[in-house]
Chain A
Amino acid sequence: MFKTNLISKKQYIFVMLLYLFITIPLHSQSDISSSIKGGISGYILDLQTKEPLISANVLIMGTSRGTVTNKSGYFVVPDIQVGTVILRASMVGYGTIDSTIEVRPGKFTSVKLRLREAATVLGEVVIEENIIKDKDKTISTISLPVADLQKLPAVGETDLLRTLQLLPGVQASSEISTGLYIRGGSPDQNLILLDGITVYNPSHFFGFFSTFNSDAIKNVKLIKGGFPAEYGGRLSAVLDITNKEGNRNRFSASGSTSLISSKLLVEGPLGNGSFMLSGRRTYLDLILMAANLKDVPNYYFYDLNGKINIDEFENDKFSLSMYAGDDVLDFTIKENNVARQALNISWGNKTLSAKWTHLFSDQIYSNLIVAGSSFKSLTKFGLSGFDMHFDNGISDYSIKPDIEWYPSSEHIVKFGLWGTYYQVKYNTEVGENTGFITNANAHSKYFAGYAQDEWKPNVFWTLTSGLRYNFYSLGSRNYIEPRFQALYRMDDRWSIIGSLGYYTQYTTLITWEGASFADLWFLIDETIRPLEAMQYVLGIHFRDEPFSIELETYYKPMKELTEFNLTSQMDSKNLSEIFYIGSGYSTGIELFIQKYYGALTGWVGYTLSKTVRTFDGINNNKTYPAKWDFTHYLTVTGSYNLGSDWSLGSTLVITSGTTYTVPTGTYQIDFGGGSYTYLRSGDKNAHRLEPYHRLDVSVSKIWKMWNGDWKISLNVYNTYNHRNVWYRNYDYDDDGEPKITDVRLLPIVPTLELSFKF
């Protein structure tokens, strides 16, 4: 059953099915059995740590034949003429290596190539001139080298999500939030994966920092739109993060300390495999404790990342990955050692995933992920015997088998399954005997199966098409999602790329800016329909080392969107009573200009966009701009190597002002012996605050000491101290006089960070 009017349905499905199930067999006959052809398969690894390298390029020199390594660093190049060939492997941030390989008829030659990290000292990459970038870059996809994260200024410490907010098409609702608003989608519309498992609340410190410890990250891939059939369950984007596996050669440690937190990472060999353990903790609470201050909130967060890899077998590899992080706020006012007023909030994520990769043959690679993820939030408030508690969270238990099949030089076929059991709970109790007790627990099963084929009929075209089937048990929903992507290479430098796809989503989120601990996830129930979107993307890419330019335009209509109804009753059981249901669309043009290497590296990103929503019951049912609708969004980042181990980094952000609602009047209502002043809401988000702009600068110095590499960085956030407006506040003082004020964001914030690596 295909339920949407966003596209013409039956014809499109018919064409997609026909394409998938007729053309794949026709084109997928490998010539490997032919006596005149053979193949090469293998892994690309880091020379020093033996970590598999993701998205490394592999090229048969003298031909146009090549490929890219998968998430395990594995690659296959079939259908090579027998004889001696030179295989070149390369990757951004690494040097290249040429290897002479004998291709034998009817056989695959297995290789392991090791790339040397290019003159790296604590992430300051001096990129070599002969680096080859992946010319087959897929649409709307950005693989962010982790070293780039550490080159840009930061508040306190490097933050992945804040760096992503500097990319075109990725926006922040405000500088206090790490939420990613990607191409008009809200943060809950992004599928955020850490080692294959969903992370539901990727933030610390009320949303100011992300949960991802940059020291532990190996690879980051962001797909801003048009994501392929292997991903699903979200409308907008995919953020796929892979943690480090650990150094297989030797034990090493690295860490850093800043005014906010300290981090430590240890890694090393474990049998034939490896391990990695990384931790981070803030220490504001310890400082306050040492200062012995009374009646001050006590707050900290920590997180732990760990990974174990077992490589005992040639064709089988196992890994176990975990994440645990919590934020804890304790604000207790005591009188004679008795708590008179107490606010305790704790929230955090936990993930655990086990992965088994198996090579059935050189051409068939598989992996199986069994994983669990949970986000829990507990808030307790007590005031002289009156107690409230709010206990909510979401858990999922998933199993995901995937197979990659390289049947011929023209095709890469992927298919797999995805099964998830969801549980959400929302338990509240307000006071004693008040009747305000809610136990809204729900569970659901989600099952998906997908198949996709990347077909390169000739050197000019790459066509990727796929189908994803979804079954969702609440309401017994069935959806088929076609996805299609085409790449046309005009020459070595220019390519045109386009995609379209249909997407559905079965969870939704209520979130408050500055209060991410209170995030409430809901499973779509029988009373409302899953969220739906179509994505259309068209772009032109230009690449001429060391520059690349990408111009993409997109249109994303959405329906069955949800918006929390603030007047819904606490004991509402159905989602149709809790949410307004509506639609919307976002459209825009993105320009992304990058310079990869040289003394000066960085990018310029510009987005011209429009994002609107229409809900029955909001804004008199009229269409209005989304809160995160920014007409213009410009970011400029740069990192300059000053020489003598000094470097300079900077980030400039200029955007349109945030939309806001201007009240049309004020009124008072007398009730319960008091008088309450209200503002009458005008057209929603019809006005804009002043434009936002900010410049951050960092200066770093690296040196060697005690057999280790050291780095000190001075980061200056908001260098020229421009107090951007967060929101306009309309209020009245005790005498009823109006007080209209602009609540402003952070002033200039200098921070210092010291890091080391042994």
Chain B
Amino acid sequence: MNKIKNIKLLNTVLNTILILISGCTSVDDPFDYKADTIVECILYVNESIDTLKLHRTMPVDQKYNKAEAGIGNASVKIFSVAGDTIYMLPAKGKPGSYYDPTRTTVRPATQYYLEIDYPGGKQITGATITPDTFTVLPPKYRVVTYLYDTNIVRWTISNHAAAYLILVSNIEFVRTKIERDQDLLPDNQYNNKEAPTIWTFTLGTSTPLYPWLYNYYGIHEITITAMDNNLYDYVWTMYQDKMRLNEPSFHLNNAIGFFGSGVRRDFIYEIQK
């Protein structure tokens, strides 16, 4: 009899705890949308400013659409300690894109500032020091046989550069039959496809052009970009752990994204079978 009483008591206690747990721990609405502003702008030395992009974040459960997210009514100013002042204008047909109507050339080793004002938002500010120019030394091979030759690219140091970005783009997609499972392995989302660019980065002033940097045969363009600290911090931290939701390192006030600078040099060579 006592045992039955105890079991009943235990059941009551367990049921109470279960109800308590169920009632206190619910899955909340996972979409707490809060708008933030994103800036994307890279100043390339000895080039004019190609574009500055200004967008808003969108709700998590929606497909991101840059046209919808663009902020087109902002006042965008970029100016330097050397006296340059550039007022960027909205690009027609490209919501959120701004261009430099004066085509002013960006100076090396110069500090630039960004100021953006738009209705309903706090002023966005940022700064970058452009890296100094540098020279790429001629690579050993202009024609490389896949898997047999490793080209090493070297360049001189760029002052103010935090690191160097190496982009490899296949600019001539050779339309021959791909020998799958034999040449470009693994056959993943990059290899054996007409994907345009693969990139890596280095802190040094040389890099082997590993076979995995190519996604196909043909003419390739190699671009070495000396990055300022803002760009390098973004590149170093750009991959997001979807469990921790860590975000890249940004250096803007009142916005996310980057206002960075770089110096780029490129050359062409061929990958052959």
The yes or no answer to A333 lying at the interface (CB within 8 A) is: yes
The yes or no answer to B177 lying at the interface (CB within 8 A) is: no
Task: Given the known inter-chain contacts A665-B33, A665-B57, A666-B58, please indicate yes or no for A341 contacting B185, CB distance below 8 A.
Answer: yes
Q: Shortest CB–CB separation between residue B15 and chain A, in angstroms?
A: 11
A residues 430-464 touching B (CB-CB < 8 Å): 431-436
Whether A671 pairs with B238 at a CB distance below 8 angstroms is yes
A688 to B25, CA, bound (A): 7
Closest to A633 in B: B21
Task: Given the known inter-chain contacts A662-B32, A678-B240, please indicate yes or no for A738 contacting B208, CB distance below 8 A.
Answer: no
- Interface size of B as a range: 35 or more
Stretch of B85-93, B108-116, B132-140, B243-251 with 4 or more beta carbons under 8 angstroms from chain A: B243-251
The yes or no answer to A736 lying at the interface (CB within 8 A) is: yes
The yes or no answer to A631 lying at the interface (CB within 8 A) is: yes
Whether A728 pairs with B30 at a CB distance below 8 angstroms is yes
The yes or no answer to A569 lying at the interface (CB within 8 A) is: yes
Closest to A738 in B: B61
Query: Which residues of chain B have C-beta atoms less than 8 A from A604's C-beta?
Result: 10
The yes or no answer to B106 lying at the interface (CB within 8 A) is: no
Whether B33 pairs with A664 at a CB distance below 8 angstroms is yes
B residues 46-87 touching A (CB-CB < 8 Å): 53, 55-66, 69
Closest to B30 in A: A662
Whether B202 pairs with A431 at a CB distance below 8 angstroms is yes
A residues 725-748 touching B (CB-CB < 8 Å): 727-732, 735-738, 740
Partner pick for B245 among A385, A634, A679, CB 8 A cutoff: A679
Stretch of B119-127, B229-237, B265-273 with 4 or more beta carbons under 8 angstroms from chain A: B229-237
The yes or no answer to A606 lying at the interface (CB within 8 A) is: yes
A386 to B65, CA, bound (A): 36
Query: Which residues of chain B have C-beta atoms less than 8 A from A672's C-beta?
Result: 165, 167, 197, 199
The yes or no answer to A663 lying at the interface (CB within 8 A) is: yes
Closest to A569 in B: B236
Contact string against B for A residues 663-689, beta-carbon threshold 8 Å, 1 for contact and 0 otherwise = 111111111111011111111000111
Partner pick for A383 among B27, B33, B61, B212, CB 8 A cutoff: B212
A431 to B26, CA, bound (A): 47
Query: Which residues of chain B have C-beta atoms less than 8 A from A679's C-beta?
Result: 60, 240, 242, 245
The yes or no answer to B18 lying at the interface (CB within 8 A) is: yes
Task: Given the known inter-chain contacts A433-B202, A678-B247, A679-B242, please indicate yes or no for A386 contacting B62, CB distance below 8 A.
Answer: no
Query: Which residues of chain B have C-beta atoms less than 8 A from A669's C-beta?
Result: 38, 40, 234, 238, 248, 257-258
Task: Given the known inter-chain contacts A333-B186, A385-B211, A662-B30, please indicate yes or no for A433 contacting B206, CB distance below 8 A.
Answer: yes
Whether B17 pairs with A665 at a CB distance below 8 angstroms is no
Task: Given the known inter-chain contacts A333-B185, A384-B210, A730-B60, please indicate yes or no for A668 contacting B34, CB distance below 8 A.
Answer: no
Q: Shortest CB–CB separation between residue A336 and chain B, in angstroms?
A: 9
A566 to B69, CA, bound (A): 28
Closest to A689 in B: B27
The yes or no answer to B204 lying at the interface (CB within 8 A) is: yes
A687 to B27, CA, bound (A): 7
Contact string against B for A residues 637-681, beta-carbon threshold 8 Å, 1 for contact and 0 otherwise = 000000000000000001111000111111111111110111111
CB-defined A-B contacts under 8 Å, sample of 6: A384-B212, A666-B58, A666-B60, A668-B66, A688-B28, A738-B61
The list of the 3 closest CB pairs from A to B, nearest first, reads A435-B203, A673-B197, A665-B57
Residues of B with Cβ closer than 8 Å to A? 10, 14, 17-18, 20-22, 24-28, 30-36, 38, 40, 53, 55-66, 69, 147, 150, 152, 163, 165, 167, 169, 182, 185-186, 196-197, 199-204, 206-208, 210-212, 233-238, 240-249, 256-258
